[in-house]
Chain A
Amino acid sequence: MVQTSPRAIPALYRSTVGKKSIMAVTGVVLVLYIVLHMVGNLKIFFGPEEIDGYSAWLRTFGEPVLHHEWFLWILRVVLLASVILHITMAVQLTLRAKKARPVRYQHRAKVRGSYAARTMRWGGVIIFFFVIYHVLDLTTGTVNPGYEHGEVYRNVTADFAPERWYVTLFYTLAVVSLGFHLRHGLVSGLQSLGGKSPQKARTLNLAATAFAVVIVAGFLSVPFAVTVGLVD
């Protein structure tokens, strides 16, 4: 019934509104992953078998239809594509915004809108560098001293050991940034996709804040538990 005209998709991609909606869609993919990942991480509280098993499951899921680690790689490709698109759009829109105001205000007034909204870009950059470090840390083990492939529980507890408090601190900083990013990103993403509920702006904001807090708490519980010795 509805036919997408051949020019519609380029129009979408070219326009600022389209770019923003691509960010929103990829953002949603990333959020889903983050939720999954956080839930997975929490398994650490049930002991090494649970979490290591989970890690193994990730790699064997879909067998024998899929080859070993295929599922994980599909996941990684989707994630990577989303991150690339998301960041490309973010960079394009940011450059555009810079060009749109070539001369800055001499007198810069206080932010009258929302702070979360104004920190999206720096927040995103922090998260980006965090993820690179994080993958080198816990997936490839490049920067993690006693890294053992497949032994997630061991790797994590070694990573956040009390004497490595600075790692925990860095993670905290990153995760809090993520919280801010999500807090505004969710509301804004919904609006970018034209989601209804304008009258309930307050409720929407509250829900997004609650969600961000849960995510932050969920992620941070692991390194903190390790650092203070609840899990070792």
Chain B
Amino acid sequence: MKLTLRIWRQKGPDDSGKMVEYPLDDVSPDMSFLEMLDVLNEKLILDGEDPIAFDHDCREGICGMCSLVINGTPHGPEKATTTCQLHMRKFKDGEVIDIEPWRAKAFPVVKDLVVDRSAFDRIIEAGGYISAPTGSAPDAHAVPVPKPDADRAFEAAECIGCGACVAACPNGSGMLFTAAKVTHLGLMPQGQPERYDRVVDMIEAHDEAGFGGCTVTGECTVACPKGIPLDTIVRLNRDFLTATAGGKKKS
């Protein structure tokens, strides 16, 4: 296959950045999208040019590190698929492909296609956990968890923290990510004691990081490679209102 890539190049956070065109011949349809970039990078290196920086690690769709906006769509055209699992056979010979980083104030560009997603860590830090110091746990069977709750909690817990939801949201909101964690922990009996403090603290961290507010546009869930459902946001809203207007927040 022959392709024309137009890739966002940005030297660093203070550089303004621009799209640069790279023609590429000899792309095998069996390559993954990132392998195609590997091939381009090897060429660039040998030509004495700076290779394109992009994030990736597991290349199995689970670590959440890969993060490319391909033709305007986070993680590219294939549904429920991370960038690293996307293969070139999904593209047509001769196609022009635009590649950009996640764009959000809360995710500043580090270099080229690499962004800083530590804002997500700060949201978790604010309350995305259950306080259970090591060694303090009762026997695992002490508290049964109804299977439907366990299954729904699992569905929310599948979030890989990639940030595609933010990249897709017209408001640049991180609400789907936040809601996935609130839902996961809020559905487990172990998560109840901290449930209402958790949601308020996490939302505060979310807003502080500079994410936009959610107006339930629904683009996030379409882009999410793990299909985190929109009703997690409904749950978050409910818990948040119960905590604030309903006065359930303790501290």
The chain A residues found within 8 Å of chain B, CB to CB, are 2-5, 8-9, 11-12, 14-21, 93, 96-97, 99-114, 117-118, 120, 187-188, 191-196, 198, 201
A120, B218: Cα distance in complex, Å: 13
Give the residues in chain B near A101, CB-CB below 8 Å. Answer: 103-105, 171-172, 212
A100, B203: Cβ atoms under 8 Å? no
Please determine whether B203 and A17 come into contact, CB atoms closer than 8 angstroms: yes
Q: Is B236 in the interface zone, CB < 8 Å from A? A: yes
Q: Which residue of B has the minimal Cβ distance to A18?
A: B244
CB of B71 within 8 A of chain A?
yes
In the complex, given contacts A17-B237, A97-B170, what are 4 additional A-B residue pairs having Cβ atoms less than 8 angstroms apart? A5-B249, A11-B200, A12-B245, A97-B173
A191/B216 in contact, CB under 8 A:
yes
Which 10 A-B residue pairings sit nearest by Cβ, starting from the closest?
A: A194-B238, A109-B72, A16-B213, A100-B172, A198-B231, A100-B212, A97-B171, A4-B247, A107-B98, A113-B218
Interchain CB contact under 8 A, A16 and B216: no
B212 touches A8 (CB 8 A): no
> Is there an interface contact between B246 and A2, defined as CB atoms closer than 8 Å?
yes
B binding-site residues for A, Cβ under 8 Å: 6, 8, 17, 19, 69, 71-73, 98, 100, 103-106, 168, 170-173, 175, 200, 203-204, 206-207, 210-219, 222-223, 229-231, 233-250
Minimum CB–CB distance for A128 against chain B, Å: 17
Chain A's closest residue to B204 (CB) is A15
Chain B residue at minimal CB-CB distance from A109: B72
CB of A109 within 8 A of CB of B247, answer: no
B71 touches A18 (CB 8 A): no
Q: Is the CB of B207 within 8 A of A103?
A: no
Interface CB pairs A-B, < 8 A, 28? A5-B247, A8-B243, A12-B244, A16-B212, A17-B203, A18-B240, A21-B240, A99-B212, A100-B106, A100-B171, A100-B172, A101-B103, A101-B105, A102-B105, A103-B17, A105-B69, A107-B100, A117-B218, A118-B217, A120-B215, A187-B216, A191-B234, A193-B237, A194-B234, A194-B241, A195-B234, A196-B234, A201-B231
Task: Give chain A nearest CB distance to B214 CB in angstroms.
Answer: 7
Distance of A19 Cα from B170 Cα, bound (Å): 17
- In the complex, the chain A residue whose C-beta lies closest to that of B69 is A105
| Chain A residue nearest in CB terms to B222 | A112
Residue of A nearest to B210 (CB): A100
Are B98 and A4 interface neighbours, CB within 8 A? no
Question: Min CB distance, A187 to chain B, in Å?
Answer: 7
Residues A105 and B72 in contact, CB atoms below 8 Å apart: yes
Taking a contact as CB atoms under 8 Å apart, the answer to whether B247 and A113 are in contact is: no
Nearest CB in chain A: distance from B11 CB, A: 15
**A to B contact number (C-beta, < 8 Å):** 168
In the complex, A4 Cα to B203 Cα: how many Å? Answer: 18
Contacts A2-B248, A14-B207, A198-B229 hold; do A109 and B173 have CB atoms under 8 A apart? no
Contact B19–A106 (Cβ < 8 Å): yes
Shortest Cβ distance from A184 into B: residue: B216
Interface centre among A93, A110, A191, A201 (most CB of B within 10 A): A191
Which A residues are CB-close (under 8 A) to B211? 16, 100
Q: CB-CB < 8 A to A114: which residues of B?
A: 217-218
Complex Cα–Cα for A110 and B236 (A): 28
What is the minimal beta-carbon distance from A198 to any residue of chain B, in angstroms? Answer: 3
Q: Which residues of B contact A111 (CB under 8 A)?
A: 219
Q: Give A103 to B106 CA distance when docked, in angstroms.
A: 12
Q: Across the two chains, which residue of chain A brings its CB closest to B206? A: A16
A27 to chain B, nearest CB (A): 12
Given contacts A5-B249, A16-B173, A113-B217, contact A192 B237 (CB under 8 A): yes
A100-B173, A114-B217 in contact; A11/B212 too (CB < 8 A)? no
Rounded to whole angstroms, the CA-CA distance of A14 and B208 in the bound complex is 10
Nearest CB in chain B to that of A110: its residue: B72
- In the complex, the answer to whether B214 meets A17 with C-beta atoms within 8 Å is yes
The distance in angstroms between the C-alpha atoms of A17 and B213, with both chains bound, is: 7
Selected from B100, B213, B249, the residue in CB contact (under 8 A) with A97 is B213
Q: Give the residue of B72, B215, B223, B233 whose beta carbon is less than 8 angstroms from that of A93.
A: B215
A109-B71, A198-B229 are contacts. A100–B104 as well, Cβ < 8 Å?
yes
Closest to A1 in B: B247
A105 touches B245 (CB 8 A): no
Residues of B within 8 A of A97 (CB): 170-173, 212-213, 215
* Interfacial chain A residues near B234, Cβ < 8 Å: 191, 194-196, 198
Nearest-Cβ distance from residue A195 to partner chain B, whole angstroms: 7
Contact B249 A11 (CB under 8 A): yes
